[in-house]
Amino acid sequence: MPNNKRFYQLSSFPRESKDSRYLADGLINCVGKPVETSYFSAMSCIFCQIADGKKPAKVFFEDAQIIVFADILPRAPVHLLVCPKKHYASLLDLPEELLLKLHETIRKIATELSIKDNFRLIVNNGAAAGQIVEHLHFHFISNARGVKLKLSE
Ligand code: AMP
Ligand code: ZN
């Protein structure tokens, strides 16, 4: 495993946690091996699996670092999720260069859909703020009608 990533040992996690990421970490650590968190979050995190192409999604855009796909329960005529492919639970963990890339992507989406002056961005950061999927994502939402979204599938 590469040296520049963070590794955790079982002892650093609460054993009774219901968080599936912790459970995945715990399982592997039972055999006494160190765990790379990004690897195990990818095993259990739905957005990591989408980013990896292991779970289906209606993808609007992707490159090496970013994926944009339709929210499964859209709350508006346009409801996309803009995510870094790499797992970050919190906006505050995101490296600045990736924040810039996300901004660039948001600009591209708004421009391509011709809704530069009609969209909202929402980040629910933390469970108390309503974050359900623990993989950073920006909700890109617009009430604009008649927008043609070219999605995969
Ligand atoms: P949040 O409350 O900010 O964590 O929002 C999570 C969003 O992810 C919700 O709007 C869900 O509808 C959406 N969502 C959950 N699972 C999927 C999925 N498999 N594909 C697309 N969107 C999803
Ligand atoms: Zn993830």
**pLDDT for 82-109, tens place per residue?**
999 999 999 999 999 999 999 999 999 9
**Ligand 1 residue neighbourhood (C-beta within 6 Å):** 46, 57, 71-73, 81, 124, 130-133
146 CA distance to ligand 2 middle (Å): 32
Q: Please name each of the domains of the chain with its CATH number.
A: 7-44 (no CATH), 57-142 (3.30.428.10)
Q: Identify whether 103 is a catalytic site residue.
A: no
**CA–CA gap between residue 131 and residue 127 (Å, rounded):** 5
Q: What local confidence, expressed as pLDDT, does residue 74 receive?
A: 97
Q: What angle, 0 to 180 degrees and rounded to 10, lies between the N-to-C axes of helices 37-44 and 20-29?
A: 120
When pLDDT is cut at 50, 70 and 90, the band that residue 36 belongs to is low
Query: Catalytic pick from 79, 87, 103, 137?
Result: 137
Q: Is the pLDDT score of 55 beyond 80?
A: yes
- What ligand has the least distance to the C-alpha of 70? 1
Q: What local confidence, expressed as pLDDT, does residue 52 receive?
A: 96
Q: Say which residues have a Cβ less than 8 Å from residue 23's Cβ, sequence separation at least 6.
A: 17, 44
What is the model's pTM? 0.78
**Three-class secondary structure of residue 95 per DSSP:** coil
Q: What local confidence, expressed as pLDDT, does residue 19 receive?
A: 41
